[in-house]
Amino acid sequence: MVERIPVAVMGATGLVGQRFIQLLHRHPWFELVSITASERRIGQKYGETVRWMWSEEPPEEVQEMKLSPTNYEGVRDAEIVFSALPSSVARELEPELAKRGKIIVSNASPFRMDDDVPLINPEINPDHLKLIPIQREKRNWKGFIAKNPNCTTAILTLSLKPLLDNFGISNVRVATMQAVSGAGYEGVVSMDIIDNIIPFIKEEEEKVHRETKKILGTLTSNRVEPLNIGVSASCHRVPVLEGHLEAVFVELKEKPEDVNGVVKALSNFKGKPQELKLPTAPEKPIVVRSEPDRPQPRFDRMTGGGMSVVVGRIRWSEIDQNEIKYMVLGSNTIRGAAGTAVLIAELLRAENMI
């Protein structure tokens, strides 16, 4: 076996940080050498301070690891640094680390829309990683920053890609039912969500609009030309622990012969991660279910280890000849966050970009 690459997780005690731990602790290519947290936890053992939220216990060897500070010192020994930091911290720290040579693969929202920052959903736009040399040169950085998309967008775009490729897309409308874990451990208080829905998630709709177009866009010489489609999202928080469910209406450019044609396009979809057999790549990025009442968050969110999205209820929209509608579901903390970040890092490695 080859030498594993030393990696760090910043923000390791949060919900997404915990997912990074699960995905990295026995990773065949990466070795977790450092985990960071905020001030008050530094020096504590991970297992003693983390409020673990997922079903199995945290891996024993990680429980014993001590938390490092969230700064350069804290990740000094890592080559790749996965970031699950809050936006305000990420905005300051990520560029500093990239400048000093770290490869940042980040779930935080800042810089996602920067022209020279690749925003990657690995099955869709692996070629956008070509922005990296441009970024490094322009910013005079030894390292670089790559971003995974917002959770809702990661799940949505995976379902859109084969439609775009096969039929063309003119407009997308999506109404989401998002899990409370998407807001972080303390993000949604119980008094707000028991027997209730909150039909608003700050800045979420804007993220879906612009990130979808960038991810599905075309790489030009030094930036990504966003895809010229209409995207309109309505985002809502529901009393579900994990798994974002989205009701999608898509106006296609070309009418599929029948719904089965759409099913096939989605079912057969594969991307570079499957081709390269990357460790975290699900066998099928999109699993289509034929039952009338699926996907459902509790039953389908862990499909493909949380890396597949599950599509169901594909049907004509009745608005016009070319419009279909369907449901898509994905794990917001894995495919929508940590899992996609790890997959990006694997892609970078497989493509010899690190």
Residue 146: CB atoms within 10 A of its CB come to 26
CA angle 14, 16, 18 (to 5 degrees): 70
Three-state DSSP at 312 gives strand
Q: How far is CA 156 from CA 103, 133, 248, 289, 340, in A?
A: 27, 28, 8, 16, 13
Residue 72 CA neighbour count, 13 Å, CB half: 10
Report the nearest approach of its own copies to the CB of residue 29 (Å).
27
Report the nearest approach of its own copies to the CB of residue 56 (Å).
8
Q: How many residues does the chain have?
A: 354
Nearer to its own copies, 234 or 274 (CB): 234
Please check whether residue 139 is in contact with residue 115, taking contact to mean a CB–CB distance below 8 angstroms: no
CA angle 346, 352, 354 (to 5 degrees): 70
Report the nearest approach of its own copies to the CB of residue 200 (Å).
4
* Residue in 281, 328, 283 with CA at minimum distance from that of residue 301: 328
* Residue in 59, 314, 271 with CA at minimum distance from that of residue 162: 271
Residues that bind its own copies (CB under 8 A): 15, 52-53, 55, 171, 173, 175, 177, 180-181, 185-200, 209, 230-232, 234, 236, 238-241, 245, 247, 249, 292-299, 302, 312-313, 317-320, 323, 325, 327
Nearer to its own copies, 60 or 292 (CB): 292
Report the nearest approach of its own copies to the CB of residue 183 (Å).
9
Please check whether residue 262 is in contact with residue 325, taking contact to mean a CB–CB distance below 8 angstroms: no
Nearer to its own copies, 49 or 71 (CB): 49
Nearer to its own copies, 105 or 307 (CB): 307
Nearer to its own copies, 214 or 349 (CB): 214
Tokens matching residue 61: 């060897």
Report the nearest approach of its own copies to the CB of residue 315 (Å).
9
Please check whether residue 218 is in contact with residue 130, taking contact to mean a CB–CB distance below 8 angstroms: no
Residue 316 CA neighbour count, 13 Å, CB half: 10
Q: Which amino acids are annotated catalytic?
A: 151, 244
Nearer to its own copies, 119 or 327 (CB): 327
Bridge partners, residue 9, by sequence:
35, 82
Report the nearest approach of its own copies to the CB of residue 66 (Å).
20
Tokens matching residue 191: 């008094």
Report the nearest approach of its own copies to the CB of residue 328 (Å).
10
- CA distance linking residue 2 with residue 21, whole number of Å: 21
Nearer to its own copies, 133 or 199 (CB): 199
